[in-house]
Amino acid sequence: MSRNPSASPFTVIAHRGGSGHAPENTLLALDTGIKMGAHWLECDVQLHEGALLLMHDLRLERTTNGKGRLADLPLAELRRLDAGKGQQIPTLEEVLDLVDQRAGMNIELKTWNGTAAAVAKVLREYVAQGWPLDKLMVSSFHLPELYEFRQIAPEIPIGVLLCGVPLDWAGCAVELGAVSLNVSDEFLDERLLADAHARGLKVYVYTVNHPEEIARMKAMGVDGIFTNYPERALG
Ligand code: G3P
Ligand code: MG
């Protein structure tokens, strides 16, 4: 089964926000993604001292003017760092306030040991205030943490992240009750795509930036992509 373009539009997910145009995982990047027309925004979240911080790497050097491991710095110090163009490392709550339902939010759990519970608590507060469930997705490569999230907040959609091809193809996503398989472009086997679709799952592919690869993904019938350049995939 492949995607029927007239039935379901190709979903464009701004990876780490519109990170081709603004410092990744910052409010500026997320706002940029929205302004470019991305349907969804993806961000990476780490739990630290009770705060949910947007940060992909475990270390600070690549994306901030800080040094060392995020986990080794006090929260107040992390919040004083420059994450690019004068941006602060944002919290999940700041992100949700900024986005304010203007796009779907895919929150990727990068840490464990309580991250699932902390994210579930925050998202439930926003859902209670009117954020629609179909504009939320929680994902992770850490499947036990994702399983824990599922146990705590079964009403919030989840996506299984894969950077490989499991022996049972898309089976783990069904087992977890996920709505989608979010798979690396390096491992997009047609059989994995077909199996996911046969099981009623969406398939979103990361991170697809080159126009030729975007066209290839569309031709293969994937349901959407994560891209740093949303404008290349829209239209
Ligand atoms: O969620 C898709 C993608 O963000 C997963 O990989 O390393 O960019 O977080 P990474
Ligand atoms: Mg990510």
- Give yes or no for a contact between 225 and 12, defined as CB atoms under 8 angstroms apart: yes
Distance CA 179, CA 182 (A): 10
CA of residue 143 relative to chain centroid, distance:
14
Ligand 1 pocket member 135 (CB < 6 A): no
Q: Which residues are catalytic?
A: 15, 56
- The alpha carbon torsion through 7, 10, 185, 231 (nearest 10 deg) reads 170
Q: Give residue 204's pLDDT.
A: 98
The one-digit pLDDT tens for each residue of the chain (235 residues) are 344 444 568 999 999 999 999 999 999 999 999 999 999 999 999 999 999 999 999 999 999 999 999 999 999 999 999 999 999 999 999 999 999 999 999 999 999 999 999 999 999 999 999 999 999 999 999 999 999 999 999 999 999 999 999 999 999 999 999 999 999 999 999 999 999 999 999 999 999 999 999 999 999 999 999 999 999 999 7
- The preferred substitution site among 161, 188, 223 for testing ligand 1, maximizing ligand atoms within 8 Å of CB, is 161
Q: Which residues have their alpha-adjacent CB atom under 5 A from ion ligand 2?
A: 44, 108
- Neighbour count for residue 152 (Cβ, 10 Å): 15
Query: Could you give the angle at which helices 92-99 and 27-35 cross, rounded to 10 degrees?
Result: 30
- Give yes or no for a contact between 30 and 228, defined as CB atoms under 8 angstroms apart: no
Distance CA 103, CA 117 (A): 23
Distance CA 23, CA 37 (A): 18
Ligand 1 pocket member 226 (CB < 6 A): yes
Ligand 1 pocket member 161 (CB < 6 A): yes
217 contact partners, CB below 8 Å, separation of at least 6: 185, 188, 205, 208, 225
In this structure, which residue's CA is closest to atom 5 in ligand 1?
Answer: 206
Ligand 1 pocket member 57 (CB < 6 A): no
- Residue 97 phi/psi, 5-degree rounding, is -65, -40
Indicate which atom in ligand 1 lies nearest the CA of residue 106. Answer: 1
- The preferred substitution site among 180, 202, 206 for testing ligand 1, maximizing ligand atoms within 8 Å of CB, is 206
Q: Give residue 106's pLDDT.
A: 98
Ligand 1 pocket member 42 (CB < 6 A): yes
Q: Give residue 235's pLDDT.
A: 76
